[in-house]
């Protein structure tokens, strides 16, 4: 293998995204360093350094963008904001994404999963990616936003998240479509507010004042895109793992109470959000390196989740792992607000598949990439 150098590291490179695990090992050994890509950024790879950056909101800010390269020239709210405003933004939504609130959504998640499975299971081999893993989170966030479910929403999200490097025009078109979707919804929702998330943001106030329309649209944009790709990636990845590991799948069939542990290990092992960035607000020592004000800093959550200093045998998929303090949802004040929803969707998705198809296997070679949600063809396993 070519000698690793921080300067050449690109977290968006195809070879890395296809299988990051080998590079993770090199990064653990190399520690913090600087990449020359995207104008330069600090690579933060270990569990300890990721924790340190994520908790130090005075020094490391998300307000200037969290994705390298960026998605658009306006903030992803509430994620890309600083305290105290960030705290105000989160308080607007925290009740709707609390464990209690998400438990009340479980019947709707289950009903959506069952409906999708009816269509998926009509013809062998079954595609559990395009018709199921991708569509379940989309169906639920549409219900929560109070908008009509359309499969094209998932296509828009993929164009925003994945095409911003290879096809920027497609990304820009998708962004415009999402903005226009909500611009068209807001007048009616002002006249007839409901208990949906769009109405909630419209009625919210900061310091006694309502949010301006563009801020509302920024919120709605992020609420639509934030939980789709990451959640459906994990559903797909865990289903693939169960199609390969027959002993594990049988354990979950025999004891569905183990599904939650399998979800947590899938989140750690596959780490659907590989990395998010910050900007240094002041000079600081970063893992012993001199970071300067204005420097970009990239926290590699996926790498931290494979750090042998925190996780024993980190490259093994082990649902008995305890403790499992992964950082798949980030950590610190900006930890993902939708983590409870994502966990519920993944768990229910797996439960419903195992109910109707307890014994299955891959129907062919499957190439799982961290930037591609292609088909996942599955067939009943011949005993």
CA dist 174 and 179 (Å) reads 9
**pTM of the model as a whole:** 0.96
Is the model's pLDDT at 40 over the cut of 60? yes
Q: Where are the domains of the chain?
A: 6-380
Strands of 377-380's sheet in order across: 126-127, 377-380, 360-362
pLDDT tens, residue by residue, 321-349: 999 999 999 999 999 999 999 999 999 99
What is residue 1's predicted lDDT score, i.e. its pLDDT?
47
C-alpha distance from residue 39 to each of 69, 94, 245, 259, 308 (Å): 9, 35, 42, 42, 30
The mean per-residue pLDDT over the stretch 15-40 comes to: 92
Q: Which residue has the higher pLDDT, 227 or 241?
A: 241
- Between 151 and 77, name the one with better pLDDT: 77
pLDDT, average across residues 253-275: 96
Binned at pLDDT 50, 70 and 90, residue 369 comes out as low
Which superfamily does CATH assign the domain made up of 6-380 to? Cytochrome P450 (1.10.630.10)
Q: What is the mean pLDDT of the chain?
A: 93
Distance from C-alpha of 199 to C-alpha of 189, rounded to nearest angstrom = 6
pLDDT in tens, 148-205: 988 888 889 888 888 888 889 999 999 999 999 999 999 999 999 999 999 999 999 9
**Confidence label for 291 from pLDDT (cuts 50, 70 and 90):** very high
């Amino acid at each position: 293998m070519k000698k690793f150098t921080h300067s050449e590291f690109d977290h968006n490179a195809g070879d890395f995204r296809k299988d990051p695990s080998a590079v993770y090992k090199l990064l653990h050994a190399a520690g913090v360093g600087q990449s020359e890509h995207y104008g330069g950024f600090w690579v933060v790879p270990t569990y300890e350094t990721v924790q340190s950056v994520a908790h130090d909101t005075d020094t490391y800010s998300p307000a200037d963008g969290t994705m390298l390269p960026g998605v658009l020239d306006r903030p992803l709210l509430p994620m890309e904001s600083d305290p105290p405003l960030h705290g105000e933004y989160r308080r607007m939504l925290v009740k709707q994404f609390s464990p209690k609130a998400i438990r009340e959504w479980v019947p709707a998640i289950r009903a959506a999963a069952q409906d999708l499975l009816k269509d998926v299971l009509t013809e062998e081999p079954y595609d559990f990616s395009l018709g199921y893993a991708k569509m379940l989170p989309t169906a639920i966030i549409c219900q929560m936003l109070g908008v009509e479910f359309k499969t094209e929403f998932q296509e828009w999200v993929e164009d925003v998240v994945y095409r911003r490097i290879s096809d920027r025009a497609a990304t820009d078109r998708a962004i415009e479509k999402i903005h226009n979707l909500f611009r068209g919804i807001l007048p009616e929702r002002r006249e007839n507010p409901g208990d949906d998330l769009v109405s909630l943001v419209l009625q919210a106030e900061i310091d006694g004042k309502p949010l301006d329309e563009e801020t509302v649209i920024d919120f709605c944009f992020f609420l639509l895109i934030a939980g789709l790709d990451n959640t459906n990636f994990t559903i797909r990845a865990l289903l693939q793992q169960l199609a390969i590991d027959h002993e594990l799948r049988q354990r979950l069939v025999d004891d569905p109470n183990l599904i939650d542990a399998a979800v947590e290990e899938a989140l750690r092992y596959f780490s659907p959000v590989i990395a998010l960035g910050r900007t240094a607000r002041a000079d600081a020592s970063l893992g012993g390196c001199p970071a300067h004000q204005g420097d970009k800093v990239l926290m590699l959550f996926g790498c931290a989740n494979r750090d042998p200093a925190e996780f024993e045998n980190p490259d093994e998929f082990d649902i008995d792992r305890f403790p499992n303090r992964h950082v798949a949802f980030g950590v610190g004040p900006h930890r993902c607000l939708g983590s409870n929803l994502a966990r519920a969707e993944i768990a229910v998705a797996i439960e419903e598949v195992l109910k109707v198809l307890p014994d299955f296997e891959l129907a062919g070679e499957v190439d799982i990439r961290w930037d591609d949600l292609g088909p996942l063809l599955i067939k009943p396993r011949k005993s």
